[in-house]
Chain A
């Protein structure tokens, strides 16, 4: 692209960008294709860009409303809260980070668990919230994942976990690492109990989360374009100076490499999950 092309393109874009600022929250710009759309249209399309199908990151509440029967979600153990047992301070104290995230999200941690129904089928649900400290897994997230697995072992209803997490929470040190073992161990008991577990990998699912419960589903579903990896592209480029190819570690790449069963658009997800539940989830005899 020549500088002149670039300038003329920039001129074409900027009036839209300016308009964007005037009506407040009526318009939104796609992070992927930079096209602008009416926020109502975006919401109607499950927060998927109407131009390029980029899947925006969404909140646990939005996920619940897109998939499950209205008001069917009953939260379990919403009250467990993180503690700063290492008295960890990086650029900010961990305590302060927790408070800030709790205030912003109105939740105690980066995950909610509970029971809901999907077209009247009971389901055990766990949803991670990337906006809460990068969806990182410390003691509380590890405990919640384990408790929803234990809940599923008892009630025998299928388990869906929606992951969106940068990995283990460094501020809780080695204890965060052990949450990987704890959740994976619980899943071994869920397997023995014969309860189906569907892992829905959303953007992004990396580090200790992908190297534990996220990759241990009976069925793996990825959201289009989701980054799914152990060591993310930046870590690879920084540590071993290897440039990663385009599309590397995206959902479609994982499908090609046999790590997920399917990549499903958000608008089709409910039907897909229903099919799976009817084919696998209802106990025979």
Chain B
């Protein structure tokens, strides 16, 4: 597994443990006590590191190559899952996935950004950066959900919309805008989870939801820290400072009233235990949908509308 730089003290302890273990095997000296001691220390160090994470470190976890991806989570938490493809206009965009699913007995339509875990996968998934056809596929599925009265669950994990010539030519601004407008008017509940990176308009395009939950080590931002550093700070190396200034961690985004809650991750980050992450998300979906199943469709729409209507801080 890829280790993060700030975990270095921890990795050193792990290496020591491994060394002692192999030594005790080959030399037949009992080192169990020693090993246990270091293991205890490693746990303490881990707890310590993870209780003092800085925003740039959280960004690293959110982007971790082994971070649980949408498709894996959907498979883990669904009783059944039927993937669906294509926007019916241009092509199927592999950076957005979706389909029909049953989660904890609830029949829902699911949509998510899809990243890969290695270079080959990432190239196929375009690093989770959708083209316009991705948003249009998402909209097609959401309209189907509205038609058949199925709640919508979306998983956000994207660096942002793809900044490329073709994406611009095919109108990605319009595609994002259209989703924002249409999502506001659906009468089925929409539940969104930011599972990794919530990058700008590309994230929001599937994020106009009744409930927005963020995994503990996910981020949600108007622009990438790198983009902000090069534009505002005029220095691309200042992305750490930008990530702190932009207030993009789950805790900050909840404090700002933009996300509704934080979903705790296993110690050391969700990449250590996909199953645990999927269970937490599933539980949240089930408890949210229980609530909305008793609510009038027009009230569900109104609740979502007012939620976004009231976002903004100014003096009048």
- Min CB distance B257 to A, Å, is 8
Q: Which chain A residues lie closer than 8 Å to B316 at the CB level?
A: 77, 79-81
Known: A142-B312, A229-B173. A178 touches B228 (CB 8 A): no
Interface status of A14 (Cβ within 8 A of chain B) = no
Complex-state Cα separation, A245 to B168, whole angstroms: 12
- Do B184 and A91 touch across chains, with their CB atoms under 8 A apart? no
Q: How many residues of A contact B (CB 8 A)?
A: 65
- Min CB distance B249 to A, Å, is 10
- Do B172 and A180 touch across chains, with their CB atoms under 8 A apart? no
- Do B220 and A174 touch across chains, with their CB atoms under 8 A apart? yes
Known: A188-B184, A230-B173, A257-B171. A86 touches B247 (CB 8 A): yes
Interface status of B10 (Cβ within 8 A of chain A) = no
Majority SS of interface residues in chain A?
helix
Interface status of A202 (Cβ within 8 A of chain B) = no
One of A85, A174, A186, A238 near B309 (C-beta < 8 A)? A186
Q: Which chain A residues lie closer than 8 Å to B170 at the CB level?
A: 257
Scan residues 219-248 of chain B and give those whose CB is less than 8 A from a CB of chain A.
Answer: 220-223, 227-228, 230-234, 245-248
Which chain A residue has the least Cβ–Cβ distance from B316? A80
- Do A216 and B178 touch across chains, with their CB atoms under 8 A apart? yes
Which chain A residue has the least Cβ–Cβ distance from B222? A177
Complex-state Cα separation, A89 to B206, whole angstroms: 30
Which chain B residue has the least Cβ–Cβ distance from A177? B222
Complex-state Cα separation, A184 to B173, whole angstroms: 12
Scan residues 144-182 of chain A and give those whose CB is less than 8 A from a CB of chain B.
Answer: 146, 168, 170-182
- Do B258 and A175 touch across chains, with their CB atoms under 8 A apart? yes
Q: Which chain A residues lie closer than 8 Å to B164 at the CB level?
A: 231, 236, 240, 242
Interface status of A26 (Cβ within 8 A of chain B) = no
- Do B308 and A143 touch across chains, with their CB atoms under 8 A apart? no
- Do B309 and A146 touch across chains, with their CB atoms under 8 A apart? yes
Interface status of A222 (Cβ within 8 A of chain B) = no
Interface status of B185 (Cβ within 8 A of chain A) = yes
One of A82, A83, A178 near B308 (C-beta < 8 A)? A178
- Do A212 and B222 touch across chains, with their CB atoms under 8 A apart? no
- Do B312 and A179 touch across chains, with their CB atoms under 8 A apart? yes
User: Interface size for chain B: under 10, 10 to 19, 20 to 34, or 35 or more residues?
Assistant: 35 or more
Complex-state Cα separation, A186 to B247, whole angstroms: 26
Interface status of A39 (Cβ within 8 A of chain B) = no
- Do B184 and A139 touch across chains, with their CB atoms under 8 A apart? no
Q: Which chain B residues lie closer than 8 Å to A180 at the CB level?
A: 176-177, 180, 201, 204
Known: A170-B222, A174-B220, A236-B164. A185 touches B184 (CB 8 A): yes
Interface status of A211 (Cβ within 8 A of chain B) = yes
Q: Which chain A residues lie closer than 8 Å to B233 at the CB level?
A: 90-91
Q: Which chain B residues lie closer than 8 Å to A191 at the CB level?
A: 181
Complex-state Cα separation, A171 to B246, whole angstroms: 7
Interface status of B74 (Cβ within 8 A of chain A) = no
- Do B169 and A212 touch across chains, with their CB atoms under 8 A apart? no
Which chain A residue has the least Cβ–Cβ distance from B245? A88
Interface status of A128 (Cβ within 8 A of chain B) = no
Complex-state Cα separation, A249 to B168, whole angstroms: 8
Interface status of B163 (Cβ within 8 A of chain A) = yes
- Do B308 and A185 touch across chains, with their CB atoms under 8 A apart? yes
- Min CB distance A169 to B, Å, is 8
Known: A86-B245, A231-B168, A242-B165. A170 touches B231 (CB 8 A): yes
Interface status of B208 (Cβ within 8 A of chain A) = yes
Complex-state Cα separation, A203 to B51, whole angstroms: 47
- Min CB distance B218 to A, Å, is 12
Can you list 6 residue pairs at the A/B interface with Cβ under 8 Å?
A: A174-B258, A181-B308, A184-B180, A211-B176, A248-B168, A259-B171
Sorted nearest first, the 6 A-B pairs with minimum C-beta distance are: A185-B184, A231-B163, A139-B312, A184-B180, A90-B232, A210-B173
Interface residues of B (CB under 8 A from A): 161, 163-165, 167-174, 176-178, 180-185, 200-201, 204, 207-208, 220-223, 227-228, 230-234, 245-248, 253, 256, 258, 305, 308-309, 311-316
